[in-house]
Structure 1
Amino acid sequence: MTPASAAISGLAIVALVLALVWAIQLKTRNAGMVDPVWSWSLGFLAIWYASFGTAPAETRLLLGGLGGLWGLRLGSHLYFRNAGKPEDARYAKFRREWGDSVNLKMFGFFQFQALIAWLLSVGFLVVAFRDGNASVSLMGLGVLIWVIAVAGEGIADWQMERFKADPSTKGQVCQRGLWRYSRHPNYFFESMHWLAYVPLAIGTGLWWVAIIPAAIMAWLLLKMSGVPILEAHMVQSRPAYADYMRTTSMFIPWPPRSSG
């Protein structure tokens, strides 16, 4: 399979899967399932490209393992976080604003998600079809970045879940653990994760393409669907959040500033 055919077929599969998720939400009236399926779809693309790539087996096994495990962890976390709960505030807001055209616009949104997943997967594609292996040191660097990023995101998610489950913190702002140093440590480590595939691509003429997914993810989280919507909601629902914004780094973990 050529890189082009692998990419096109991968996009078609993800678009079909998200179309099915859209059809399901027509009945459930809850679009939140798109989040875990989107993450699982990206893990699938890593495995899909690794299965049909032309790189040496060691590189493709590493790629499929890293990308697949990342997608499985994040997708499973999002699934269990959303299961049995009301629709996420973001999608409820879309549903109110879109009114009678909500079904058509939601379909377009889901397909846009498929396109974003496909664009992010270009880092996987470059690695899967590279000539030869990256050096042992570069492969080790990629694994190190992956471990730090996935562990950091997992810890941040766990700390937030524990905070939400504590009845004594109801209505408060989480400033525990990693959340003391960043308002969005999960987003920081999520963006960092995409840099793990850059060392695996070094040595190819298109290694720089592997940087694009990290830039896309950071832009999406900081400027589009992540921080802006979430923080607008938090400022309205949590009186202490404005002070948290003044004292705490938005993205990169950093010691908090004085509130004075």
Structure 2
Amino acid sequence: MSERKKTPSYDTFTRNDYQFFNNRLKHKKAENVIDWAYGLFNGKLVYACSFGAEGIVLTDMIAGVKKDARIVFLDTHLHFKETYELIDKVKQRYPELQIDMIEPELSLEEQASVHGEQLWKSKPDLCCDIRKNKPLKRALEGSTAWLSGLRRDQSPSRATTEFVNKDDKFGMIKICPLIHWSWQDVWNYIHERDLPYNSLHDRQFPSIGCEPCTFAVKEGEDHRAGRWAGLEKTECGLHLKPLSKKE
């Protein structure tokens, strides 16, 4: 696909386009990938940020490329107070960024009345669908592509992530600038630039989500071991491929 064409879409982006751009970007730095993405998708690109360590890195890079970029945060109403405190700091540091707090259609009280108390314990996938997946789908409406802080070394399910990905779940093009970064790379960037970060990271919380489903990890454990501990669940569903009808 020629870059001279106006904003491409999920429907017009072909397999050859994904291959072409991934080959072209494979030796580029994360900042270059972000610059390319905003150049190609213009205002049709949105960043869905959880404000974890990777999120802080990407937010800083994005602000350097497009200072008024749109960032969405899925406010499940179940996050740690430390997460909300960090978002306030980010808003102060980057006042021109458009940070949208996306809320579920159901309040926690309404969810409890329909599905029962503490749905995250009885049916965690349904809880994530109501409070994260559906709100993100709504937040992405009108956009063509979205940015994510996925890294290949985070988990086996993310090991094959490319810079430019076909996202069948949301019918979008997903851009992941940090795929080659290590956890140490993330923290080197944060410390070198004295960026604000979630204080829970200093208390053995490498991956931070909703408070009821996030726990500290032990030394040597996988970084996502503290997410949905004791359950087979390892992902909220935002980055999982949709099942085919046969599956």
Q: TM-score range by the shorter chain?
A: under 0.3
Which TM-score applies when normalising by structure 1?
0.22
From the two aligned structures, give the one with the greater strand fraction: 2
Which TM-score applies when normalising by structure 2?
0.23
Question: Higher relative CO (CA 8 A, sep ≥ 6), structure 1 or 2?
Answer: 2
From the two aligned structures, give the one with the greater helix fraction: 1
**Bigger-Rg structure (1/2):** 1
